[in-house]
Structure 1
């Protein structure tokens, strides 16, 4: 079942890269007591994710944070090394929190998993965005069209803040 507005986020452990190497972060550590904008992408470095989805959040970072948001985070079913490289490559390191959901545990538990095996990509995450307030989803946008980041893009999310 897909997560809905009003639901608590499922318990999961992400990995993120730090100056000291990979660090595990639980759902509670990322979201409890905070207002977080979370967006999910099928994969780091993939065309729409890299050229459209992530740049919108990076370009609108100040506008998002000025609306009472504590953190912007992106999650993908990639390992922490790929996510760390993507953060550096895009200039978003230290500006957006890059969460690796390497085995898709979070994506599956939230009902946001997507099987892209036919394209050689395996299990991934649907493209989405959400506002999470103290661990509870208060807005959710799941992208219907492949290759686009309109419903889940930064402009749509800013309207909801």
Structure 2
């Protein structure tokens, strides 16, 4: 805000195996409800889909809905989101210095560069050309960032 210079960005993800509503609609609704009821103002609302990894993956599999959720993500693939996903211009660094394309890949231990991966504590890993040449590691969960309006 102008007084403090601080930003408040909110992140919304749906409570289940479905895609979030359109970001613009939620933004309007959140601004109205949070502003009127609680006096809360925020800078930006970010919507994300639930990633089919780890606990959510296990939950979907146990409920027998994993295939249906993956189908939903694939059917809603939006090529316009590909240039905006976080892995295009960000990296994620874990506590041990390992470099990942995104935090979802970190959870799945999909290192940048494959194999043993790249590490910020290794001089060779910090070679900018090497980092730029490393292909982005993708897997089925990536459809979560590219479905509908995208998740980044």
How high is the TM-score relative to the length of structure 2? 0.27
Higher radius of gyration, 1 or 2: 2
Whose relative contact order is higher, 1 or 2, with alpha carbons under 8 Å and at least 6 apart?
1
Greater helix content: 2
Greater strand content: 1
How high is the TM-score relative to the length of structure 1? 0.26
